[in-house]
Structure 1
Amino acid sequence: MKKKQKQRLVSALVSGALLLAGSTVFADEQEFSLDEYVVTANRMPVKKTETAASVTVITREEIARSGAANVPDIFKKTNVMMSEDATASIPSINGDDRVLILIDGRKLNQEGGQRMGRFGADLYYLPSVDSIERIEIVKGPASALYGSDAVGGVINIITRKGSKPDTHYTLETGSWGLRRYNLNTENKVGDFSYRINFERKHQDDYRYKNSRSGEVERAVNTAVDQDSLNIRLDKDLGNNRSVTLTVDHIDGRKGFNVIPDQTVQPYYYFPNGVKAYVENDVSLTYRWEQGEKTDNFIKLYRNYLTYNYENMTNLYGIDVNWGRFTNQTDGAEWQQTWKFSDNYTLLGGASWRQTTYDNSEQGISDKKITNRAGFLENHWRLPQNWSVTAGVRYDSYSLFGNKSTTRITVNREINNTTNVFASWGQVFKVPFIDEVYGNGIVVPNLNLRPETGDVITLGMNARLAKETELQASVFTSRVEDAITYQNLGTTAFPVYQYANVAEQKRSGLDLSLKRQLSPQWQIAAGYSYVKVEEKEHGAGSYQDDINNSQPNGYRLSLQYGQDKWNADLSLRGATGRNLKAFSSEDYWVVDLGVNYKINPDTRAYLKVYNLANEAYELRGSYKTSDITGAYPMPARQFVFGIDQRI
């Protein structure tokens, strides 16, 4: 019955598109400010007040004022929840870590394996913040546009395009032997532009405040050395056509100690373990007919990530020979927009993507997963500023068969600064390759199925007064055939297997308020509530997720700027956490940043992270350790830097 309903819905959407396609009228070439538009929620530029989604935009100027050194730093002031330990950093949106991460629209999530949670990437393996033009964070489902992974939401990092002659370097030093050097150069000559960014970073073992003793201790074997290179080349071909080449390279070594306190879980304590990693990503994009509700392109790309684990002997004397892992993804995408009238636009596209995963030491040799997909989405503009979108996507996976997802959104633009919206969308997430074929401590499960579900969202974006902006949204979601792991081994040598054993429900709300108090002062505040429940197959009732790190989340930021000074004081916290997973039910962290412009070409800044020296965790330790607080966050850290234009 459900299959027939889906087939009728797909037929109706396609038929509607064809019936309305009497004659094609492409949008005239036009200049418009991207500040008034968002791209990610609809895969094309749409006015913010016509977008039926809760979208947070972080601009290049905001990133510079914050003094953020990496992408996780940027998200600390947003409604993105972070889960971090000494080895990785992953985001959660609407309490779900099935989040799609894009770089200029290119999917970065890997389908291979070796990751934290259900997120197929690591936020520390992203381009330097000096390469970022803006970040768009979309809350809610987007599988009907982007396919697998876009369950909780989508994060799109849009990189900078060279625009003028400019070269500057940044020098940073700080606690725990921190040294960071960054060089950025860009220019535009005629119809050609380039931007090149190089960064080198070193930091010794970080310190953390032990939640049990109250003492600041060294997180053994957590030092990191990393180099990164980001290149973007753009060529304007005329007639609203362009071609862009991007190259991203990361090469690093970091101490790999999953749990830095040896008294917590000796199996995961690796005093000499090292993770060496290399990432090489390249993307070539040809674009034409760019404008409002128009984004046409052909994209070819390769994502390559390899990491090798060395000296992985734990306190039991067991050599956990994880070996070398390689994820390689090759992909091609085509997207076309047809604007048939001022009131009807059709967006469509197709893609091919293949991931090859190799871990010979664990018996996985060149395992592949291939996906072919196509999508259509209709955009109707109706009387009285109503707009409706309806879309469908079809994915065909070599390992998991075929899957179609749909979404429908309704938006009402109240005025130029206010809109209300509702959306419903289906979602799915395919298993990772190592969940299917195993990897040493993981037993294979060749019968794994994709996770499926749907999400409903209601929200509004409003300017309450000239200097006050409000965002509000509520959501509810369900996921069936949720994949979780089961411990099948002994305490000395854990053995796991992934299985479709659970159903999950999520519900919550998010409020964000921003107000310009005066030309010098601005304040921003936010609150989020997320309830996560899980029921194993055959169980009688749902149980709360014990590892929910932020049942109630709070954000407060006060910014000051005048003449040569700029300062930012922020507070973030959470309450209602379970003591089976965390060392405390709540935490409150204060960060401070101060910038001083010495002259037009020189800026000095001071950052203090965790000013009050709070002991806290962002990753729950339930099921991974008998002791809470297994994944402590860094203690108070001071960072001083100078940015100099040459």
Structure 2
Amino acid sequence: MSLIKNNFLLYFLIFLSCNLNAQEIESDSTKIEKLSEVVVVGESNVMSVSKKLFTVSTIKRKDIDNLAGNNLADILFNNLNISVNPDASSGRSTVSLFGLDGQYVKILVDGIPVISDNGVGNNIDITQINIDDVERVEIVEGSMGVLYGDNSVAGVINIITKRGLKDNGWELQVSLQEETVGNEFELFDKGRHIQNFRATNQVNEKLSYAFGVSRNDFAGFYNDYKGPNYVNIQDNLVVNDSLRGTEWNPKEQITASANVDLDLGQHNVFYKLQYFNEDLDIYNRVVNGRYQNGSLNPTALDKNYITDRWVNNINVSGPLNGATKYNFSLSYQNQKRNYKEFIYNIFEQRTQSVEIDALSQSSEVWYSKAFVNKIFPQSDFFDLQLGYEFTNQSGFDANATGAYSNEVVKNTISNYELFGITEFQLSKKLSINPGARFTHSTQFDNHLIWSLSSNYDFSDKLKLKAVVGSAYRAPNFEELFFYFVDANHNVQGNPDLQPEDGISVFVNLKDTFRIAKEGYLNTSFNFFHIYLKDAISSITTEDGDGRILFTQDNIDYSDRLGFTLDNSFIYKNWNIGLGATYLGVKNEIQAFETNNDDYLWSLNLQTSLAYTIKKWNSIVSAQLKHTGETEGIFNNANGDEFVGITDAYTWLNASIRTNITSNLSATLGARNIFDVVNINSAASSGAHNSSATTSRLIGNGRSYFLKLLYNLNFKH
């Protein structure tokens, strides 16, 4: 606790000195032509993140189209401080930000947290988030607990969906995309095959609606494996060489959605309905050499997971009195995952019998958020925003009992939260925004989340922003309630876990320069520090019967310190980005005998290039990202936890997008040009388990894609 207090004092002094010193610097007298904002972020729009309080970077629709992105994982690879972490066995991909995993990053759709297997908004499988109806993706780095609650420690990713058309009429979009997986491709059996359809009708100025469906068929990544119908037979005997199946398990995803956007006078109603289905196959590498009627009839015990998710979101916004505005959101989401274990007949290529067919996981979430802002619109000095947030999550994850019986552990967590943000406009250039959120949970003690942000505008272009606040993460459903106990297993969650707490500071300085007649350079410098105490980690202990128990406890701390320099250069047909982050990471597991007190520093680089060829109606683009060595907490093959260092790697994508006709466009490109597949993690020097090492699959090799998009408009 003393360390946090000392950090708070240090950060508060830094915070004050940044803004007091800023007042002493004269405004930049150089006239720079104002660069128009690409993103319109209204302070009263709950769907967008406040650019006044936070530094917001944006992935625009044209960037998504240049990448031929279909899900969120496709477009986040090139973000400087974000890493996409795929799991080949489960098929899930999560994000980490500043080396903090998906538990610390909150993902929203139109300002509403996304439901996941074990939480709300966190540890989301981003391959399940379809982005064909998305207008832009907003990324905010830094702790945002006051506005977005617990678990938004490293940052927030907010996905904004499309709403209506510019003119009255219909818009129909159909797209087909074929993509290799490494060097593997067949029209139906290998590779990645994507189809999309979307229709939008702008009925009049007040009403629009849209509906669509998307299918993403990923046939898996075979690599050196031989597929589900492989069996090695020698001398009429099955030889188990562990080559059956695939390196990356295949899955098919279907997303269907519809929305309505209605203006009632000055008030707006937006409703979104979405259904998601995922069918994931897991092939057993062990083949059973059974004989039937005197002949060899090999089989394998395979698994299948089917996930169904329904999302209902409604948002109502408008004025209460003059400039005072309200926002109200209500969401009901549910997700069910069915588990099937079956005997697969390899020669006959069919399911021979079903051993288990049961509901494996269920989550139901009610969520509501509302706030009122500009409560004192007449005051030039003081303003206030007040709101509430309510979350009720119930369900289970029934790896419980090992036999998938109906004796599952079902639990409910409810959060009741009140928050407020104040603004003191001390001068035309300087504003200070203190904020606080009070959280009451049915699982944890009451908690206060706080933040203090400030803005100082040296000029229209040179601006300083500082944010200091709580870094607060509550345990997720699995960490609290997971239960897998049988004759061979004793793995249980810990309902007595306490939330992680800490402090974060982010300072941002940005400027815009005009270069020549048609050129602009946008530069942004960031300093950040995130400190977490009582970090949650896996431990081994004994239960009341003296058995070895694998569970969770608050025993660690985690520390992130770093600097980021990001540049964007626009000149005529060129758009070039260049960024670098120097990140220091320090983790400690107190159960280890020794720990390294030094930061492990890594240099991460990112560059992007886009060139418009007007004569050909084409855009050529490329994205290069180098991720340096990183430190994290990993598990080896035996399930033992260790602090490890992950090797550096470099990722390169490139594409060309061209308009063949006014209605038809094509995008041709390559992903992972440097053919990165595996990276290694080894124990840090001095760790108790110094021999620990693991290899992690992060890519499926160099892949090529072709996307055809047909767009047709009918005006009323």
TM over 0.5: yes
Name the structure 1 match of 2:263. Answer: 236
Name the structure 1 match of 2:556. Answer: 502
Q: Deviations over 1:358-390 (max 9, x none)?
A: 245615433100111101110122214111100
Question: CA separation in 2, counterparts of 1:124 and 1:252?
Answer: 10
Structure 1 residues 455-466: aligned runs within 5 Å: 455-465=504-514, 466=519
Partner SS, residue 592 of structure 1:
strand
Name the structure 2 match of 1:631. Answer: 697
Q: Deviations over 1:480-533 (max 9, x none)?
A: 1110112569xxx996311111111111122211112x3222211111222221
Q: Check 1:579–1:279 CA distance in 2 against 1; reply closer, same or farther (3 A cut).
A: closer
RMSD between superposed Cα atoms in Å: 3.8
Shift of 1:83: 1.8
Structure 1 residues 320-335: aligned runs within 5 Å: 324-335=360-371
Candidates 175, 193, 199, aligned match of 1:185:
199
Question: CA separation in 2, counterparts of 1:417 and 1:104?
Answer: 29
Question: CA separation in 2, counterparts of 1:496 and 1:332?
Answer: 35
Q: Deviations over 1:256-285 (max 9, x none)?
A: 479x999xxxxxxx9833221111110111
Partner SS, residue 448 of structure 1:
coil
Name the structure 2 match of 1:600. Answer: 662
Q: Check 1:361–1:177 CA distance in 2 against 1; reply closer, same or farther (3 A cut).
A: closer
Shift of 1:72: 1.4
Name the structure 1 match of 2:229. Answer: none
TM-score, normalised to structure 2, is 0.74
Partner SS, residue 124 of structure 1:
helix
Shift of 1:604: 1.1
Contact 1:618/1:633 (<8 A) preserved: no
Pairing 1:514–2:514 present = no
Structure 1 residues 346-365: aligned runs within 5 Å: 346-360=384-398, 362=400, 363-365=407-409
Contact 2:115/2:333 (<8 A) preserved: no
Question: CA separation in 1, counterparts of 2:566 and 2:272?
Answer: 34
Shift of 1:255: 2.7
Shift of 1:425: 0.3
Partner SS, residue 164 of structure 2:
coil
> In the alignment, residue 330 of structure 1 is paired with which amino acid?
W
Q: Deviations over 1:196-231 (max 9, x none)?
A: 121012121225599xxxxx9984461111110121
Partner SS, residue 699 of structure 2:
coil
Contact 1:82/1:618 (<8 A) preserved: no
Partner SS, residue 453 of structure 2:
strand
Structure 1 residues 144-183: aligned runs within 5 Å: 144-163=146-165, 164=167, 165-175=170-180, 176-183=190-197
User: Which segments of 5 or more consecutive residues in structure 1 lack a partner in the other structure?
Assistant: 6-32, 211-215, 263-269, 314-318
Shift of 1:101: 0.8
Candidates 402, 419, 423, aligned match of 1:379:
423
Name the structure 2 match of 1:90. Answer: 94
Shift of 1:45: 7.0
Question: CA separation in 1, counterparts of 2:282 and 2:524?
Answer: 40
Question: CA separation in 1, counterparts of 2:210 and 2:391?
Answer: 28
> In the alignment, residue 168 of structure 1 is paired with which amino acid?
Q
Q: Check 1:150–1:618 CA distance in 2 against 1; reply closer, same or farther (3 A cut).
A: farther
Name the structure 1 match of 2:492. Answer: 443
Q: Deviations over 1:447-505 (max 9, x none)?
A: 1101111101111122133511112211112111110112569xxx9963111111111
> In the alignment, residue 72 of structure 1 is paired with which amino acid?
A
Question: CA separation in 1, counterparts of 2:398 and 2:694?
Answer: 35
Name the structure 2 match of 1:124. Answer: 127
Contact 2:197/2:213 (<8 A) preserved: yes
Q: Check 1:144–1:580 CA distance in 2 against 1; reply closer, same or farther (3 A cut).
A: closer
Partner SS, residue 74 of structure 2:
helix
Shift of 1:145: 1.6
Candidates 258, 276, 280, aligned match of 2:310:
280
Question: CA separation in 1, counterparts of 2:493 and 2:156?
Answer: 30
Name the structure 2 match of 1:298. Answer: 328
Q: Deviations over 1:102-147 (max 9, x none)?
A: 111101254836x9xx943211222x32211111111101112211
> In the alignment, residue 198 of structure 1 is paired with which amino acid?
V
What is the percentage of aligned positions where both structures have the same residue?
A: 20
Candidates 406, 409, 416, aligned match of 2:453:
409
Shift of 1:232: 1.5
Question: CA separation in 2, counterparts of 1:590 and 1:343?
Answer: 49
Contact 1:281/1:304 (<8 A) preserved: yes
Q: Check 1:531–1:261 CA distance in 2 against 1; reply closer, same or farther (3 A cut).
A: farther
Question: CA separation in 2, counterparts of 1:90 and 1:39?
Answer: 29
> In the alignment, residue 552 of structure 2 is paired with which amino acid?
Y
Name the structure 1 match of 2:58. Answer: 57
Contact 2:481/2:493 (<8 A) preserved: yes
Pairing 1:223–2:250 present = yes
Name the structure 1 match of 2:239. Answer: none
Name the structure 1 match of 2:711. Answer: 645
Q: Deviations over 1:400-441 (max 9, x none)?
A: 121111100111112223311111101211112232222316
> In the alignment, residue 256 of structure 2 is paired with which amino acid?
L
Q: Check 1:218–1:636 CA distance in 2 against 1; reply closer, same or farther (3 A cut).
A: farther
Partner SS, residue 63 of structure 1:
helix
User: Which segments of 5 or more consecutive residues in structure 2 lack a partner in the other structure?
Assistant: 6-35, 181-189, 226-242, 288-299, 344-354, 401-406, 485-489, 635-643
Candidates 538, 555, 579, aligned match of 2:606:
555
Name the structure 2 match of 1:108. Answer: 114
Contact 1:169/1:183 (<8 A) preserved: yes
Contact 2:409/2:483 (<8 A) preserved: no
Partner SS, residue 630 of structure 1:
strand
Question: CA separation in 2, counterparts of 1:152 and 1:420?
Answer: 20
Q: Which has the higher contact order (CA 8 A, sep 6+)?
A: 1
